[in-house]
Structures are given as C-alpha cells and as structure tokens.
Amino acid sequence: MAWPPSRHKPLAGRRRQCGSSYNRILWPSRSRSSELLARVDIVELVGRYVQLKKGGANFMGLCPFHGEKSPSFSVSPSKQFFHCFGCGKHGDAIGFLMEHSGMSFVESVHDLAQQFGMQVPEDESSPQERERAALQRQKQVTLSDVQEKAGQAYRLHLKNSPRANSRT
Ligand SMILES: [Zn+2]
C-alpha cells in the first residue's frame, strides 16, 4: 500500500483568531446608565405600573409600595424622581424598577433598556464583577433609599473599601 493519504489537509498557513478583540465594556457603567436614564421618562415608566394624574408640576398616584387609598405617590418629570410621602420611598427610574419588580440593579437596567427599545451590549464581565459595579452605582445614585435596603451589602462593601476605613 502506498503512503496513506492524510485525511487531514495540512493547514495552509496559520489560522488567525478572527480578530476577536475583547471589548470589555462594563455594562452598566456609570456613563451608560446615565445615558439610559437620560433617555427614559420616569413618568412614562411609572405610568406603565401606576395610574398617574397630573397635579401641579408633578404626577400623583397611588403608591405601589404601600397600601393607600389617597395618592401620596408623586413623580417629578423635571427631576426624574419618584417620591412617596406616605412611605418615604423615592428614587429614579432604575430605582423604581428595582423596587417594584424586586430585580437587581443590573437586571433593572436591562429591563429598562428593553422597555425603551435601547440596545444593551452584553459585557464580558463576570456576574460578580457586575454585581460589584451595581453596588457602586447604587451607592452613587440612590444613596438615601438603597442604603436602607442594600444596607448589609453596602456595609460589606464599605468595609472592604480602603477609603471608608480612613473615615473618622
Ligand atoms: Zn408609599
């Protein structure tokens, strides 16, 4: 028998990894979620869950976070914030979604982007990294309210932050 022909054709030159450049976009980064918030109308968003009526500069409705019969839940189109005079909950559009749906920050951002027809680039970061970024974000944006809820995670985060330890 002749030399068995190789079943495998020799590689003609080295195959390149087809230019797979890793763009490590950390979504939601600060700029990206503020870009999202800038394009989202909180009145429109909240209006999908709560019946709102215009009252002065704000919109009022029955608070979805505590039982009530007269509206003490207000949404400010100018500030893009919601605030409940009954239970004290307040925050921005992302905060509303988190509160209303019980989703994490990252999930809420994705959901919000989807609801408003925005493309959400998938990032390459691990869930842990994203959670950490989310915590950071929460700290910056909805400090007052999230502080209570995410108190434990937040404090844990602070404990690990060298800056926090230099506080007197
Ligand atoms: Zn309330």
Q: Three-class SS of residue 46? A: helix
The number of residues making up the chain comes to 168
Residue 94 to residue 84: CA distance in whole angstroms: 16
Say how many Å lie between the CA of residue 53 and the centre of ligand 1: 16
Which stretch of DSSP H or E encloses residue 7? none
Say how many Å lie between the CA of residue 92 and the centre of ligand 1: 15
This prediction has a pTM of 0.55
Output the pLDDT for position 128: 72
Output the pLDDT for position 140: 66
Q: Could you give the domains of the chain? A: 30-162 (3.90.580.10)
The answer on pLDDT for 146 being more than 90 is no
Say how many Å lie between the CA of residue 28 and the centre of ligand 1: 28
Output the pLDDT for position 135: 78
Buried b (16+ CB within 10 A) or exposed e, 90-101: bbbbbbbbbbbe
Q: pLDDT per residue over 27-82, tens digit each?
A: 455 566 788 888 899 999 999 999 999 999 999 999 999 999 999 999 999 999 99
